[in-house]
Structure 1
Amino acid sequence: MKKYTVQKAPFVVPTTDGKLIEEHFGRATDGNSQVSIAHMVAPPGWSEPFQTPEFDEYTYVIRGKKQFIIDGEQVILEAGQSIKIEKNTRIQYSNPFDVPCEYIAVCLPAFSMESVNREE
């Protein structure tokens, strides 16, 4: 019995905003509710509504820049930087810059639409 899993076919989350989301491990890919790991590319000008997730989220920026509004404070991460945002924190993610932002996101427990609490 193997004690490892190689992910060669991540689940590509359908989006309508031009953002690429490839979940390598998590609820949609392998049913894992403990952690989700996703590779993402946010196009220039992309943004999401404010949300208050019920999970901790770690973000590592590979290239480009990503803007966060965290409890009213603006934080901009550049390539090579990372951040941990604690659960139950009101946040908005965006890429108001002129180049795509490629990053890895890790959620503990795993991301779900029910636990992200996006505002309308």
Structure 2
Amino acid sequence: MKKKKYSIQRSPFVVPTDHGKLIEEHFGRASDGNEDISIAHMVAPPGWSEPFQTPSFDEYTYIIKGKKQFIIEGEIIVLETGQSIRIEKNTRVQYSNPFDAACEYLAICLPAFSIETVNREDA
């Protein structure tokens, strides 16, 4: 039997959270063991934020719907629907949604996201 050269993700890993944010990892360490890349669909509710972090991976974000705020090395940047950003590894960043509506987006990390390499600061 010939091995398939593709894989379809029908059941992403839903990361448990305590801040109302939906995280569905389609490919990555938690979903299929891939350490090279992670691809996640996320929905951040209004008022959501994370502590500052300095990840050891590049992170790409594409905004599907809504707005998301980034504080990158002290600079405030707001992305809106249809916009995207690449943040290089070893860059201090904070992600948040201080707006009135949820923000839906895709996040891609190279190499794959891990709690050990995100380097979150204590809140």
TM-score (norm 2): 0.97
Query: Aligned partner of 2:93: which letter?
Result: I
Q: Per-residue deviation at 1:33?
A: 0.3
Q: Per-residue deviation at 1:51?
A: 0.1
Q: In the alignment, what sits opposite 2:15?
A: 13
Which structure 2 residue ranges, 5 or more long, are not aligned? none
Query: Aligned partner of 1:94: which letter?
Result: S
**Superposed counterparts of 1:38-49, under 5 Å:** 38-49=40-51
Task: Give the one of 94, 97, 101 matched to 1:95.
Answer: 97
- Name the CA distance, whole Å, in 1 between partners of 2:7 and 2:20: 29
* Structure 1 segments (4+ residues) deviating >4 Å: none
- Name the CA distance, whole Å, in 2 between partners of 1:67 and 1:79: 12
Q: In the alignment, what sits opposite 2:4?
A: 2
- Between the aligned residues of both structures, percent identity stands at 77
**Superposed counterparts of 1:37-116, under 5 Å:** 37-116=39-118
- Name the CA distance, whole Å, in 1 between partners of 2:54 and 2:21: 20
- Name the CA distance, whole Å, in 2 between partners of 1:98 and 1:27: 32
Structure of greater Rg: 2
Give aligned pairs, total. 120
- Name the CA distance, whole Å, in 2 between partners of 1:2 and 1:96: 44
Residue 89 of structure 2 aligns to a residue in which SS? coil
